[in-house]
């Protein structure tokens, strides 16, 4: 039965924010693939995120820890895994500052466990047409930008936080396994994602939740830091497209071409929330409270996604305000 599927894809972290949308894209649009979601269901992973397709014939859920090699090895054997889309990671910068070791064990050792399992199962110099190890990473590996310029695929790595250092290390291990063992790999580095099902510790859902409860909205420093925001469903579609079409060893940046200062974004959310909650305009903005800046807070991230755009198969959503409104509606349900 398992081998009736032409691909058996192990999606790690498929109950997390981005992973959920990648799983949805695969399960709904590729019935000929078996999608095996392995997730430890820590604080940021929720299996109810996959409830809509939980009974689909081409979906399986396995609770497991990528830090445990024997668990990963068993999954490769049990499902005859042909491909990996690796999203499982500790991803919150503030948490990495408080406890860096958690990020080392999950993001670095967990990734190496998966690489070893893939190498063992597929052999050295595996064929890209039959297998791929797709590693999902972040633009934070590149460090910080000033007022001008963009990260490209050739930008040197310059991680500034324990989180970005752990993701940089995992990226390097993926490339090393490609060069050393001929493992077919693809890496993508994305900008900040937004959309439904994000755990409420990141800027947008934090702001929404604070407004709902009439609580102070914390904004680091003066709110001048700039981020490029990517609609999560665009990201999922880009991952699935590159999973099929990118050459082995390639890296792609995935961005939204959508830069916002943190304070401007928070104020936009405040305005939308006042409208949706029937509050006088300015009510939510009054909740903004500037707090001590994060240690080592990178000033600006901005991605040059022209390599991806030039494929002609990806265009990021242009209407940020409507997608932000859709995101808010999810949290108001």
DSSP 6: S
- Partners of residue 218 on adjacent β-strands: 289
Distance between CA 188 and CA 174 in Å, rounded? Answer: 11
Distance between CA 214 and CA 210 in Å, rounded? Answer: 6
CB 19 within 8 A of CB 37: yes
By C-alpha distance, which of 60, 56, 49, 62 is closest to 17?
Answer: 49
- The CA-atom distances, in angstroms, between 163 and each of 29, 79, 103, 247, 253 are 33, 31, 6, 28, 18
304 noted as active-site residue: no
- Among candidate residues 90, 139, 153, 259, the one labeled active-site is 139
142 noted as active-site residue: no
How crowded is residue 152: how many other Cβ atoms within 10 Å of its Cβ? Answer: 14
How crowded is residue 3: how many other Cβ atoms within 10 Å of its Cβ? Answer: 10
Please tell me whether residue 14 adopts helix, strand or coil conformation: coil
Q: CB under 8 Å, gap of 24 or more: what pairs does 143-148 form?
A: 143/298, 144/298, 144/299, 144/300, 144/301, 145/299, 145/300, 145/301, 145/302, 146/299, 146/300, 147/300
CB 262 within 8 A of CB 219: yes
Please tell me whether residue 220 adopts helix, strand or coil conformation: strand
Distance between CA 146 and CA 224 in Å, rounded? Answer: 12
Distance between CA 232 and CA 155 in Å, rounded? Answer: 24
Longest dimension (CA), the chain: 63
- Among candidate residues 79, 163, 177, 301, the one labeled active-site is 163
Among positive and negative, which fits the CA dihedral 105, 108, 114, 117? negative
30 noted as active-site residue: no
- Among candidate residues 39, 140, 171, 228, the one labeled active-site is 140
What is the set of active-site residues?
139-140, 163
């Amino acid at each position: 039965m398992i081998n009736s599927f032409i691909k058996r894809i192990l999606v790690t972290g498929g109950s997390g924010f981005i992973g959920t949308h990648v799983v949805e894209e695969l399960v709904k649009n590729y019935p000929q693939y078996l999608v095996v979601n392995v997730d430890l269901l820590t604080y940021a992973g929720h299996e109810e995120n996959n409830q809509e397709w939980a009974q689909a014939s081409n979906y399986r859920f396995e609770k497991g820890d990528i830090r445990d090699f024997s668990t990963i090895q068993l999954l490769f054997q049990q499902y005859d895994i042909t491909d990996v889309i690796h999203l499982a990671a500790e991803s919150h910068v503030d948490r990495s500052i408080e406890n860096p070791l958690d990020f080392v064990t999950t993001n670095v050792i967990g990734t190496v466990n998966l690489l070893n399992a893939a190498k063992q199962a597929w052999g050295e110099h595996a064929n890209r047409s039959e297998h791929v190890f797709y590693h999902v990473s972040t633009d934070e590996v590149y460090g910080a930008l000033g007022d001008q310029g963009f990260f490209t695929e050739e930008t040197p790595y310059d991680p500034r936080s324990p989180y970005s250092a752990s993701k940089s290390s995992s990226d390097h291990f993926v490339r090393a396994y490609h060069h050393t063992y001929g493992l077919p790999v693809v890496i993508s580095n994305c900008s900040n994602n937004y959309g439904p099902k994000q755990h409420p510790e990141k800027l947008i859902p934090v702001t929404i939740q604070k407004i709902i409860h009439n609580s102070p909205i914390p904004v680091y420093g003066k709110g001048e830091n700039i981020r490029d925001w990517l609609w999560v469903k665009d990201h999922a579609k880009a991952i699935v497209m590159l999973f099929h079409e990118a050459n082995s060893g390639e890296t792609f940046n995935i961005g939204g071409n959508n830069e916002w200062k943190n304070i401007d974004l928070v104020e936009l959310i405040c305005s939308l929330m006042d409208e949706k909650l029937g509050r006088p305009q300015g009510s939510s903005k009054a909740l903004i409270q500037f707090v001590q800046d994060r240690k080592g807070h990178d000033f600006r991230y901005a991605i040059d996604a022209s390599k991806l755009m030039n494929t002609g198969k990806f265009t990021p959503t242009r209407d940020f305000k409507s997608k932000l409104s859709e995101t808010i509606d999810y949290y108001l349900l």
